[in-house]
Amino acid sequence: MSERNIKLLIEYEGTNFCGWQSQTNDKTIQDEIISAIKKVTQKTVKLTGAGRTDSQVHALGQVANFIIEHQLETGRFAEAINYYLNDEILIKSSTEVPADFDSRKSATFRRYRYLVSNEKSAIYRNLRWRLPEAINYDILRESAGLLAGEHDFSPFCVTSSLKENNNCHIYHSSWHRIGNLLVYEIRGNRFLHSMVRSLVGAMVNLALENQDKNRLNLTLGQFQDILNLKNEKRIVFTAPACGLYLVSVGYGDY
């Protein structure tokens, strides 16, 4: 029996998890799925995810893959793994991919979404950022437009996670309204740790109608200077994790 490379498309609500990445004493998405795969196949696999979502961050289209020798029909992996998962995690599909496919290294883009609402809700409280303050929508849209293209996003990253190269190419960045929701969409070739939440926090901060002495009180000009590394200020106002979703991951020939 030869080895097979199985690709999973995964949806999860991250509220009760300490992120995607396996941790010794905490409940994570990766560990839950590895445990379920072992119950199905009696084998412990190395599960590679496309993105390491943080604690309480959600996913509509996370991608992961693992190598295994097993005779189970490819499409049935999803159904079998789901049997051992709780309702907060769903394997949407399972497909066989070439041996050189790596869900993280083979990705050509990642798309994230962030939800903000001024409405109080018992149902959606863990699925979006409730922000009752008035926000200038025009400024939000203008600030999002500044992010397109390639930039060094080190001011919008957790310091301990900075890399030698912190450049990211942003293909799309925009805000739009759906009912009482403000929805931010961003798509890029790569993202730094907490980068999307830092960007959302900065954009919301500068778009607040009533400035708060406990926040950065940015202007559009200052935001652009930070983005262009003309201002040494770091973004420390990070949007809550509950509003962030990994929507999809793109792959060229896979």
Which residues are identified as catalytic? 54
Distance CA 14, CA 90 (A): 12
First to last CA, the chain: 23
Distance CA 142, CA 42 (A): 53
Taken as a whole, the chain contains a residue count of 254
Distance CA 148, CA 169 (A): 7
Under 8 Å between Cβ of 12 and 58? yes
Distance CA 28, CA 96 (A): 25
